[in-house]
Amino acid sequence: MESIPVGIDVGTRHSILAIIDDHIGPRVIKNRWGNEKTSSFVGYRHGRLCAAEDALPAVFTYPGGSCVSVKRHIGASQKLRLGGRTFVAEELLQVLLLYLREDAEAYLQAVVRECFIAVPSCFDFKQRDMVKSAAQKAGFRGVKLINEPTAAAMAVSLEGNVLVFDFGAGAVDISAVEKKSDLCHVLESIGSTKFGGMDLDKEIALHIWKLMGERGDPSEDPRWPLLLMEAEAIKESLSFTNVVNWWPRACGFILHRNKPLAIYREEIESLIAAFILPVLDLAKRIWDRYNCQILLLAGGSARMPLVRRLLAEAIAEPEKVQICPDEAIAVGAAVLAGKRGKLFIDVLSCDLAISTTDGGISVIASKGTPLPIKLAKRFMVVGSGSVEAKVLQLKSDESGSRVETLSTLVIKGTRSGDVVKVIFLVDGSGLLRIDVANEKGNLYLSQDVEIPNFPSRDYYFKERKHKIEELERKLALFSYLFDPPLEKKITELFNSVRCLQSAEEDLWQDALAVLESTVNRIAQVVKNK
């Protein structure tokens, strides 16, 4: 059966799937709950990870068992603790992507193995490779990435120099893009995953908290997650009206008077304007630098009247297009996934470098270099044996400048005077591969960027094998009571579960649940005797 490619916008708050329909063109597809937006929440309930709407109960009833901003943690060294267990963000992303793939297959009644995933333009090599790896572990085989502003530009039929202002829940991305016919050439991209619409929601929630006369740290209050979601709903409602009457008791504040709290657009705009203005200054500089003529908005927070008004005053009136800002990124990713003759040229998100023998750093390609690229660096071997070098990425953002190691290359079998050529290949998705060869072109090694702290397939296999062995040891205590037919059935059950040690998470968890239930029932029967 032929696989249908999909475009995916993995947002901080919501994720969206889109495809190219042969009859009506790009369209957003619905999830298993009948919605076009899927919550990007991931939770840990009943001994297993869950995502989307399945994770909402964990968000509201047990905040310590959920993560509401997986995207912001991608690439972070710090692990996340959910329900007493620790996970890296990429494990949580894998579960969310698995949900999205299953929803796409259920809706399309077809196999889905290829995807174009939109990521923030500021994602570095590690983050991009982690997204790709998580997607592959979720069952996707062909995985390509595109920067979110570039995807938004691909979704509309505009020509000229376009400034894409992507204001999502967890990030702000600004790109200058040159569009001509089916070609999209990114001139420059800047962005931050430290500020987005969810930060505005937090300010609004704090404002409401104070209006109600509440004291203390709201984040310690079990009602805080619900208040944050109410703040988001209030913000969205104020895009269409000047006042919202909000009932505190609906959010669990039962001691508050039984009257609605009037929240005005004007007071909210005065509260959040100061957070938006610095981002507009960045957009203005990019607009002027590349002489842009068109302003294109993307992301849910770009729908706010305040954002549109400030952009119109500082830069230009946003372009009126048919596509909804919330859906532009997913649709653009679907356009590329559908391979409809579209071509895009993106840029490098950070500096790529390599360490030198004297302890210095040699920059191979600078941030903003057009992709794809293929560059080589030659080194002469001094001494014999093995040569070691570190591949680095140099990043500068609001938190400062830093150097991060991507990979350590160990080249063996060299002799003094040998010339070693390190070849850096970065594809259009911003994914890095490194080849090391001698002057004759013979490869010493070829590898993708390694992903630190991300559990490999072997890790999952060993963990699952250990779980089966634990259950076998538990059952061995009662094995002397088994007759041959029962012993045969139990052996067959264990062998069946062993066959699923490399299966996808949902299938494995279902099989393990059956095995655990069987072992527990046998143990209970023996104890009752």
pLDDT in tens, 377-402: 887 777 666 778 888 898 877 666 78
Residue 453: the pLDDT is 44
Q: How many whole angstroms separate alpha carbon 64 and alpha carbon 385?
A: 51
Q: Extract the tokens encoding 407.
A: 């990979």
Q: How many whole angstroms separate alpha carbon 200 and alpha carbon 268?
A: 10
Cβ-based neighbour number of residue 486 at 10 Å = 12
Q: What is the DSSP letter of 196?
A: S
What Å distances lie between residue 122 and 22, 107, 128, 172, CA to CA? 33, 32, 10, 10
Q: What are phi and psi of 110, to 5 degrees?
A: -155, 160
Residue 231 has pLDDT above 60, yes or no: yes
Q: How many whole angstroms separate alpha carbon 50 and alpha carbon 274?
A: 37
pTM confidence score: 0.80
The arrangement of secondary structure in 351-448, i.e. its CATH architecture, is Sandwich (2.60)
- Find the angle CA(187)-CA(397)-CA(365) to the nearest 5 degrees: 50
Q: How many whole angstroms separate alpha carbon 294 and alpha carbon 280?
A: 15
Q: Which residue has the higher pLDDT, 255 or 23?
A: 23
pLDDT in tens, 297-342: 999 999 999 999 999 999 999 999 888 999 999 999 999 888 765 6
- Please report which confidence band the pLDDT of residue 451 belongs to, taking 50, 70 and 90 as the band edges: very low
Show Cβ contacts of residue 363 under 8 Å, excluding neighbours closer than 6 positions: 351, 352, 353, 394
- Please report which confidence band the pLDDT of residue 78 belongs to, taking 50, 70 and 90 as the band edges: confident
Confirm if 319 and 312 have CB atoms less than 8 A apart.
no
Residue 274: the pLDDT is 94
Q: What are phi and psi of 486, to 5 degrees?
A: -65, -40
Q: Extract the tokens encoding 421.
A: 């050529």
Q: What are phi and psi of 187, to 5 degrees?
A: -90, -40
**DSSP run (H or E) holding 30:** none
What CATH code is assigned to 6-196+273-345? 3.30.420.40
- Helix, strand, coil percent content, the chain, rounded in steps of 5: 40, 30, 30
Residue 4: the pLDDT is 87
Alpha helices, H only, 139-262: 148-154, 197-211, 224-237
